[in-house]
Chain A
Amino acid sequence: MKLMLLFLTVLSLAVLAACTNSDSSTNDEGTKEEGTKGEATKTEDDKVSIEFWHAMSGTGQTSLDEIVANFNESQDKYEVKAEFQGTYEESLTKLRSVGGTKDAPAITQVFEIGTKYMIDSGYIEPIQKFIDKNDFNADELEQNILNYYKVDDELYSMPFNSSTPVMIYNKDAFKEAGLDPEKAPETFAEVINSAEKLTKGEMYGFSMLTYGWFFEQLLATQGGDYVNENNGRTGDATEAAFNSDEGRLVFRTLDTMNKAKTFGNFGTNWDDIRAAFASEKVAMYLDSSAGVAGAIDTAPFEVGVAYIPHADEVKRNGVVIGGASLWMSKGIAEEEQEAAWEFMQYLTTPEVQAKWHLDTGYFAINPKAYEEESVKEKWAEFPQYKVTVDQLQDTVPGYATQGALISVFPESRQQIVTALEDMYQGKDPAEALEQAAEGTNRAIEVANKTKK
């Protein structure tokens, strides 16, 4: 028995040593690798073949696959292979195991709140390098989207699928309640009033998905920052700033409606709140602009789309974009980077963006796409689409609407979700918000402590 134990220990130590060795050797490789190296992967007919990891499922995936196929047919030098890698979180986890090596995909789609993480990771080549080298005219892209992905005036990744929040409402319910269906409430106070009138029988007046993103938006439209250091844009953020007057106002507004029973809580699942709207359980709710098409399709009544509400005392600042962007890997062959750049340029053309916008409801990152015939036709039929674009273009540029830059965003969002849930259960709004700020502060502190 003793011998057996001894043997086991020796064996496990040996394995341990072997594994740690391989760990450190790959790490060394990762840090030594400056710039590019290695041979590009070629297909049989001598095309440079690159991988493109994305997180688009459903209609997004169908549309993206078509775009990739069109690109591959449009020229004979490069071949892009689009690979679905699961949700944004899952694909980021996978990237972490190959990032910075030559096995990394040339292009990876990463959600907007992963921006800070990607910049700090050392896995990537800033897109700005290719823009400068090839004299690419980035000015023709949507500035309000570029602003988010620009850090210190350098564009790190190519924006791809962008969305913003909008307020979707039931025009028929507005008519029944004696409200003007063409004029949605614009301020927090107006929303509270209208919600009261709209609440009837099984229908709640207002709802919002319990998701941090919407809180960030209602904060930003008042000009409130999420974290200090100007939203982390002028330096590494060290603590949360959302527990400000602006943040408390958002919580109080929701709390007022919740206490008045004019607010319907449909949880954290996008499908649930959309189903609630379509089945007339709620009259107004906040959704992503990418959900507009679905709402119009499924609702058996007339659907209105409006800007998100803003505070009564302050001018509307506008919205922060959400969605994802495309990142170029470092440490892969130069030819592969060229192929990736070529593909990214193709994606920004008005034709491709028009298709993308119409298929999915995401914004066109190139505003010229809105002048395409196909888009004009669709907009004439559904003027609701145009509202989402107008809201984005009306946004006042500033640190608040540029969006916060922190590496611990997913964790902070979870804190906000918990705070909202606690408040809906009767906790004091200011107290709930304060607790979320404390949780975020600890996460930021730990992240800053471990940063190289």
Chain B
Amino acid sequence: MTTVRAPGVWKRSANLRVGFLYLLPSIILFAVFLFYPMIRTIYLSFFLTDQNGNAAVNVGFENYSYLLTSPAFLNSMKATGLFVLYTVPVGIILALFFALLANEKLKGIGFFRTMYSSTMGISVAASSVIWLFLFHPSVGVFNRILLVLDLPQIQWLLDPEWALISIAISTIWMNTGFSFLILLGGLQNIDEHLYESSRIDGAGYFYRLRRITIPMLSPTLFFIITISLINAFQTFGQIDILTKGGPSQSTNLIVYSIYREAFINYQFGTASAQAVILFVIILVVTLLQFKLLERKVHYQ
């Protein structure tokens, strides 16, 4: 007649507690460096801050309503959207192209692999300075080439029509190295037997590319698309060095606009509101991606 008494909560949660203990270091790090700043940002976004950056006047949602009707901020959103469209698809297609080339087994291919991924080794600041010289209106290489070809000169960074495109070109160049490396890694992981069998079946190169390479590469592609999108939304360094958001605000992407607002104008309130809006945009885009694209991803 002995009844088995259910063990107490303390006992039952033993595993959970041990689990937490293991997680504790990362939870503390996240809390200090991610959660706290984030909560603080959301909190500040409802205030106007005084000269020392402390919350001074509670304005409710006024910062948000101001931003969403301010032509300057709407322009920043538009520029950011365009920038993402310019850089992400081209950058990934270019990287994929290079990766496919470099995946061929040729003599001395190591040299090309190193070359193609070399932009990864240059910091944004250093490469921006190089591009600054290339784009220079009076002594830059690009305008020299145009001059030799007898084409009209382009004010690369000074013409609002061109500035964003110029930044996009330099960004694609900077990011291709990283995407290339990841994609090449993905390509190398594809089982050689698949290709062998298809060759026996008489499949051509493009058929193999479409039916084997791309599906097998899809997890890697999905990863690189997500990362590139988020990176493009957060572009800062090249803007700061090449255009400082100008001309006529045409390259004032959201992150640069946040920087200006916070560290030049000392308005942490509106800067925080911008940061929150950016966060929401990235969150939505990433969720959409997972919903729409992940279905097409082929996991082995």
Q: Do A and B bind each other?
A: yes
Binding site for B on A (CB under 8 A): 3-4, 7-8, 11-12, 15-16, 19, 27, 89, 93, 96, 99, 117, 120-121, 210, 265-268, 272, 275-276, 279, 281, 407-408, 410-411, 414, 417-418, 421-422, 424-425, 439, 443, 446-447, 449-452
User: Bound state CA distance, A8 and B32, in angstroms?
Assistant: 12
Q: Does B289 contact A (CB under 8 A)?
A: no
- Asked whether A421 lies within 8 Å of B248 as measured between CB atoms, the reply is yes
Complex interface bits, B21-52 against A, C-beta within 8 A gives 1, otherwise 0? 00000011001100110011000000011111
Give the residues in chain A near B136, CB-CB below 8 Å: 272, 275
CB distance from A395 to the nearest CB of B (A): 29
| B158 partner, pick from A89, A267, A443, beta carbons under 8 A | A267
CB distance from A85 to the nearest CB of B (A): 14
- Asked whether A121 lies within 8 Å of B51 as measured between CB atoms, the reply is yes
User: Bound state CA distance, A216 and B28, in angstroms?
Assistant: 50
Q: Which of B56, B137, B160, B264 has the most CB of A within 10 A?
A: B137
B24, closest chain A residue (CB): A11
With A16-B36, A93-B263, A96-B52 already in contact, the answer to whether A268 and B246 are too (CB < 8 A) is yes
CB distance from A94 to the nearest CB of B (A): 11
Q: Does B244 contact A (CB under 8 A)?
A: yes
User: Bound state CA distance, A417 and B252, in angstroms?
Assistant: 13
| B36 partner, pick from A15, A276, A410, A425, beta carbons under 8 A | A15
Q: Which of B136, B139, B248, B264 has the most CB of A within 10 A?
A: B248
With A414-B260, A422-B248 already in contact, the answer to whether A449 and B57 are too (CB < 8 A) is yes
A411, closest chain B residue (CB): B265
CB distance from B248 to the nearest CB of A (A): 4
User: Bound state CA distance, A15 and B48, in angstroms?
Assistant: 24
A-B contacts, 19 of them at CB < 8 A, read: A12-B39, A15-B32, A16-B36, A19-B40, A89-B263, A117-B51, A120-B51, A266-B137, A267-B247, A268-B243, A276-B138, A281-B137, A281-B138, A411-B265, A414-B265, A421-B246, A443-B265, A450-B49, A450-B50
Q: Is the interface of A mostly helix, strand, loop or mixed?
A: helix
- Asked whether A265 lies within 8 Å of B155 as measured between CB atoms, the reply is yes
Q: Does B53 contact A (CB under 8 A)?
A: yes
- Asked whether B265 lies within 8 Å of A267 as measured between CB atoms, the reply is no
User: Bound state CA distance, A96 and B51, in angstroms?
Assistant: 9
Give the residues in chain B near A89, CB-CB below 8 Å: 263-264
Give the residues in chain B near A96, CB-CB below 8 Å: 52-53
User: Bound state CA distance, A451 and B57, in angstroms?
Assistant: 10
Q: Which of B48, B50, B160, B246 has the most CB of A within 10 A?
A: B246
- Asked whether A446 lies within 8 Å of B48 as measured between CB atoms, the reply is yes
Give the residues in chain A near B158, CB-CB below 8 Å: 265-267
Q: Does B188 contact A (CB under 8 A)?
A: no
Chain B residues within 8 Å of chain A by Cβ, number? 40
Q: Which of B16, B20, B35, B49 has the most CB of A within 10 A?
A: B35
CB distance from B252 to the nearest CB of A (A): 9
With A275-B139, A411-B265 already in contact, the answer to whether A418 and B51 are too (CB < 8 A) is no
CB distance from A430 to the nearest CB of B (A): 17
User: Bound state CA distance, A237 and B53, in angstroms?
Assistant: 21
Give the residues in chain A near B72, CB-CB below 8 Å: 439
User: Bound state CA distance, A272 and B263, in angstroms?
Assistant: 25
- Asked whether A266 lies within 8 Å of B138 as measured between CB atoms, the reply is yes
- Asked whether A450 lies within 8 Å of B20 as measured between CB atoms, the reply is no
- Asked whether A268 lies within 8 Å of B16 as measured between CB atoms, the reply is no
- Asked whether A417 lies within 8 Å of B48 as measured between CB atoms, the reply is no
Give the residues in chain A near B114, CB-CB below 8 Å: none
User: Bound state CA distance, A268 and B20, in angstroms?
Assistant: 54
- Asked whether A450 lies within 8 Å of B265 as measured between CB atoms, the reply is no
User: Bound state CA distance, A236 and B221, in angstroms?
Assistant: 57
A412, closest chain B residue (CB): B265
Give the residues in chain A near B16, CB-CB below 8 Å: 3
User: Bound state CA distance, A407 and B267, in angstroms?
Assistant: 12
Give the residues in chain B near A11, CB-CB below 8 Å: 27-28, 31
CB distance from A349 to the nearest CB of B (A): 34
Q: Does B217 contact A (CB under 8 A)?
A: no
Give the residues in chain A near B172, CB-CB below 8 Å: none
Give the residues in chain A near B160, CB-CB below 8 Å: 421, 425
- Asked whether B139 lies within 8 Å of A279 as measured between CB atoms, the reply is yes
- Asked whether B36 lies within 8 Å of A12 as measured between CB atoms, the reply is yes
With A210-B246, A266-B137, A422-B248 already in contact, the answer to whether A15 and B31 are too (CB < 8 A) is yes
User: Bound state CA distance, A449 and B66, in angstroms?
Assistant: 16
- Asked whether A449 lies within 8 Å of B260 as measured between CB atoms, the reply is no
Give the residues in chain A near B20, CB-CB below 8 Å: 4, 7
Give the residues in chain B near A407, CB-CB below 8 Å: 51
- Asked whether A279 lies within 8 Å of B260 as measured between CB atoms, the reply is no
Q: Which of B16, B138, B264 has the most CB of A within 10 A?
A: B138
CB distance from B18 to the nearest CB of A (A): 13
User: Bound state CA distance, A27 and B55, in angstroms?
Assistant: 13
User: Bound state CA distance, A103 and B215, in angstroms?
Assistant: 59
Give the residues in chain B near A421, CB-CB below 8 Å: 160, 246-249
Q: Does B95 contact A (CB under 8 A)?
A: no
Instruction: Across the A-B interface, give the 8 residue pairs with the lowest CB-CB distance, nearest first.
Output: A450-B56, A411-B265, A421-B248, A450-B50, A421-B247, A281-B138, A12-B35, A276-B138
B264, closest chain A residue (CB): A410
CB distance from B12 to the nearest CB of A (A): 11
CB distance from B136 to the nearest CB of A (A): 7
Complex interface bits, B133-166 against A, C-beta within 8 A gives 1, otherwise 0? 0001111000000000000000101101000000
A442, closest chain B residue (CB): B66
Q: Does B231 contact A (CB under 8 A)?
A: no
